[in-house]
Amino acid sequence: MCGIAGLALRKGEAPSGAVLDALTRALAHRGPDGGGHHVAGSVALAHTRLAIIDLAGGDQPLFAGAAALVGNGEVYNYLELRGVHRLACTTGSDCEPPLHLFRRDGLGFAAALRGMYALALHDRGTRQVVLARDRFGIKPLYLAEVPGGIAFASEPQALVAAGLVAPRVRADARAELLQSQFTTGAATIFEGISRVLPGETVLIADGAIAERRRIAALPEGGPEEIGAEAALARFDAALEESVRLHQRSDVPYGMFLSGGTDSAAVLAMMARLNERPVLAFTAGFDIPGAADERMQAARVAAAVGARHVTVDVTEAMVWRHLPEIVGCMDDPAADYAIIPTWFLARRARQEVKVVLSGEGGDEILGGYGRYRAAMRPWWLGGKTPRARGAFDRLGDVLREPGLLEGWRDGIAAAADAAASPGRTRLMAAQALDVADWLPNDLLIKLDRCLMAHGVEGRTPLLDEGMAAACFRLPDALKVQGHSGKWILRQWLARHLPASEPFRPKQGFTVPIGAWIEGVGERLGPLVAAQPGVAEIARPDRVAALFRHAREKHRGFAAWHLLFYALWHRRHVEGRRAEGDVFAVLGRG
């Protein structure tokens, strides 16, 4: 996992060395092990490296003939690509096969890739640049039209730091963020910066976008006809293959273990495939009544002989480091799970550079309670996914009643696209989450929190092979009664019964509402006074909200405002996060 950036300008334009250096500095945290540049004519590529595979020979840019490549992520099937396609690779890098496939297949090269990646390629012969992102959007990539052509980078903040784009907030994206904690679609919260979409390949010619292609993340069509035993066998084979591929690494690796079924399945398969004990990291909280999965995770780890490391996240730690944590979320996702994820990554980096996690299991296998609600027609209590926002019952907090109007437009558009012919209600709800919730919330969280510490995060449940094996299973093999992920739970009952796969889902809840209310008298006025919050919210109502944040709905809203205040201060106002949350917000 690394950082990439570059400039693809019109013929006759010369890339600025100062801009290229600024892009590289802004992405240095993503690649502490080295870096490199490629400049040819009107095109420049930059790379910062986190060395994972081919430590000695995998420096980038990589070159073959007239083509150059920089990449972020991992192409897990690189060994198979070399053998099947007889590629004349000169390094052991997993990113070299895509370079040779591009020279042979042109824009269609990405169809053969299995992994998480964001790639930039320059063909000096045609003077064209190609950007490509993996089909699930596990690895990020952003672009912007700038004077003279196109700029791109792994993080929007790099484009801002290099002076290529001014950090101006889009009001409709702000509304999405405040209501649903993430933003949708191609456009980011910054005016002028857009995402390369998951599965998209973009051709840039003479400083302008000339063509876009896209590979679907999920298979088309409705449910297959398959029995439970055949489905279990297929699930086992797909999971084994995916975990085996996701463990390819020349550096030590471990995993993040919660008390839930997704990470338990990853652990069980890692234990099957590894001779040494698996290293598992679990976070917990120091507040009575908080959902704490450490004991259950410890039982599961002991059942497979894993080495289990727990990370205690205290309230004092959160207030001390929250400005840093929010600061790493330049493409904002106000998911409070960023807090334990950041601390887990900090601890994991002491021993490993790669961690596997259970992200994607709920979406691929039908785990969320909202899916069960979506399966029912409205007259039987069915609910539209993501129909309510954090401020729906708190309109008096905002200065203008219509400030958040239209916040569901992006979600509604994605829902229409997800409901393709043949899909059941459940499949459409899953596809909706795969389209936006996953890449723009969960995967951004994983990417930014881990890259802040130089750790690579891998998601074996969110994999092409897993999607092919599981997405089109009959609804009854995903959801039965009050339980989602039925096929995974059945598999765990056979292979890791200590995980108690049919116990009620607890969820991974951060006690942020209780923490906020505990310091609400002090914190509320500080948040209300921040420029980003002051322009949209009434100070007296914000202060009252923070004093009653233990109530679930008010707690979500208070957290979203706290996140936005810190995010706006860092990424719009350009102020560095130095000190704890009270010191940072208390500075004029």
**Backbone dihedral angles phi then psi of residue 7, each to the nearest 5 degrees:** -130, 130
Q: Is 191 left (phi over 0), alpha (psi -120 to 50) or beta?
A: beta
Assign 195 to helix, strand or coil: strand
Do residues 160 and 152 make contact, with C-beta atoms less than 8 angstroms apart? no
Tokens, residue 321: 């480091």
β-sheet bridge partners, residue 122: 68, 129
Taking CA 176 as the corner, what is the angle to CA 391 and CA 29, rounded to the nearest 5 degrees?
Answer: 120
Tell me the C-alpha distance between 127 and 316, whole Å: 53
d(CA 417, CA 414): 5
What residues have CB less than 8 Å from 106, skipping those under 6 apart? none
Report the distance separating Cα 240 and Cα 549, nearest Å.
44
CA distances from 44 to 121, 446, 453, 474, 553 (A): 10, 28, 27, 48, 48
Distance of alpha carbon 538 from the chain centroid: 32
- Give the three-class secondary structure for 374: helix
Residue 537 is given by DSSP the state: B
Q: Is the peptide bond before 332 cis (omega within 30 degrees of 0)?
A: no
Length of the chain (residues): 588
Sort 501 into a burial class: Cβ within 10 Å, 0-12 / 13-18 / 19+: buried
Contact present, 338 and 237 (Cβ < 8 Å):
no
The order of strands in the sheet holding 43-48 is 35-40, 43-48, 3-9, 149-153, 142-146, 193-195
Does residue 485 contact residue 261 with C-beta atoms inside 8 Å?
A: yes
Would you name the residues annotated as active-site residues? 2
Q: Are 74 and 94 in contact (CB under 8 A)?
A: yes
Q: Which amino acid is at 308?
A: H
- In this structure, what DSSP letter does residue 30 have? G
> Cα angle vertex 105, ends 102, 108, to 5°?
90
Name the strand (E) or helix (H) holding 466.
Answer: helix 464-470
Q: How many CB atoms lie within 10 A of CB 416?
A: 11
Give the other-Cβ count within 10 Å of 18's Cβ.
10
